Structure 1
Amino acid sequence: MDDFLVIDRVSKSFGPLRAVDDVSLAVRKGEAFSLLGPSGCGKTTLLRMIAGFERPDTGRILVDGQDITALPPEQRPVNTVFQNYALFPHLSVWENVAFGLRMSRRPRQEIRSGVDLMLDMVRLTEHARKRPAQLSGGQRQRVAIARALVNRPQVLLLDEPLAALDLKLRQHMLLELNTIHEQVGTTFIYVTHDQGEAMSLSDRIAVMNAGKVEQVDAPESLYETPRSSFVATFIGDANFFTGTAVELQHEGYVRAVVEGLGSPLVLSNGAISMNQTVRLMVRPEKISLTLKRPLSGDRVNAFPGVVEDTAYFGSHTRYRIRAGAHSIIAQLQRSRFSGGGIEPVRGTEVWMSFHPDEGRVVRLEGGA
């Protein structure tokens, strides 16, 4: 697919603060693309520069080959959905959605058909004559989305649009947004600090930190193969170990010694030098627990520990396990524990194990 929205080496500072630092991104036409990161990482500033509310200090922004860097917001082929909805309280739902078309002086019949179509799409036809105050939070958000889409923008910008909703409503609205995106095919740029929202909505995600992009990838790739400790931590939970590479094996595997874990760990990764200090990562749900040392070949990582705490969450149980100086989190469904029917409790001695392909080297520290 061709690049449709291009961010070309864009930077923005506010006084001494470098909010966006030489960011380059390419978004495909029709893609649902998220900017994900903690507060202050630069994601909202980048969105505002795409919308035209801020001007970059350096760099360019292009939509479908057109340089829009210097265009005012009203001349850009984009529309924005804000966190606070920004609806007109004195206008009905129908009139709120029609507002942009009326400002563009569209023919009356085009306005009527366009608004009716959008209200049908967001399932608000029966609420067309209500005022925003008469609607629920989710309904008001759907009005804001319909109003932004009725002008058929080439890019729809969504600035943390679900942040004000409760958990159940957020989950419902994510399904609604997915459906709307499939129906209209507009390019979505979604800003959020919530990794669950980004993972469930996006074709690809750009993870941002301190004004820079750490990694751009599909949700599964970000989770399974993060390129940095920051990405591994921000996308889900992770256990980290610092080790020293002591053997380079065939097919890209590396054996690393981690103090306090006994046998060296074997992980899948390339570009590692002998005696290099590395940062290792394994997800909690990748760790299996047994009461006895598992039968294993030379590619299985296994080490003992003592359960310090457990927490039951219904669909799974989380265990905090002490192994030397390491506090390790394992997350298991009940069916995954192979302990002869005995659930480990606080003080139980267990063996933890994971396959080399389920651990990653996420950062190199120094070299040989």
Structure 2
Amino acid sequence: MAKQVRPNPTQAVSPGAAALASAERTLSLEAQAILELKNRLNEQFAEAVSLILGCSGRIVVCGLGKTGHIARKIAATFASTGTPSFFLHAAEAIHGDIGMVGGQDLLIALSYSGTGQELLTILPAAHRLGVKVIAITGNPQSELARLADTHLDISVSQEACPLNLAPTASTTTALALGDALAVACLEARGFGHEDFARSHPGGALGRRLLLRVSDVMRNGNAVPTVSADASVFQALEEISRKGMGMTAVLDAGGCAVGIFTDGDLRRLIERKGDVRNLSVAEGMTRNPRHIAAEALAVDAAALMDRHRLNQMLVADAHGKLIGALHMHDLMAAKVV
């Protein structure tokens, strides 16, 4: 009877090591696929960019299944970087949604095999409208590639899936190619930071580049003000009512000649002791810093931080008070 050999536990591969090895293999295969894609770039890519830039309508990115998910992301990237675009589901398109496409639009059709019947059904309708078509497939000889105005090859030598079946490396190359198209168009259009911010008004960059002082400042009756001849007690009453920890001190023309804060009050008491009969002008900070209403809120935050201010006045070009900012206002607007 043959002697039974027991496995040596020290030689077994741990689940963690196996997972790491699998991840490294997947990333290596997908990275290699992108490098191969880079080496295949040619005049057809330049032609595709030219078609996109010359489109007076919208870019319609169409796909189905896994490539449909990639197509949706490509459309979103175009739309957020200066190229109006939307995603069209290929199966829905042949049941009425092709009506979303107009004669001035451009169609980008994604199918790795290039044989998807839904996309092939859409193409004649697109051509009847006079719509140009960019095909993105892994088969340059496919019917979709041949029917398109230009074709971009995303073929891969091997999927990252060990069965070589699940779309993995191929969807990665499709996504990377979509990014390359969007970035090439972005650069050609001179799309900059402020353009990006306008497409992302709810994001941090949008707030930093679009939000103005006038959007977050307090104005009207919400701004604490007293005249230069007001008493310290009158100033304290105004500070308490308006809850900004300060009051602006105005001359007869409405220009800010000073600011009186909680800190000014403490310093005045230290210096004078009894402040009951003093005017606010004796303790105010003269020639206070101010900022224009049209300035960026982020610039106001930087100025206040640099000079360690909790409040700042907002004035016009002639020094007339039009509002006030508290650091809490900037924090509430998520500027800081």
Larger RCO (alpha carbons 8 Å, 6+ apart): 1
Asked if TM exceeds 0.5, the reply is no
- Higher radius of gyration, 1 or 2: 2
- What TM-score do the two structures reach when normalised by structure 1? 0.27
- What TM-score do the two structures reach when normalised by structure 2? 0.29
Question: Would you tell me which structure has more helix in proportion to its own residues?
Answer: 2
Question: Would you tell me which structure has more strand in proportion to its own residues?
Answer: 1
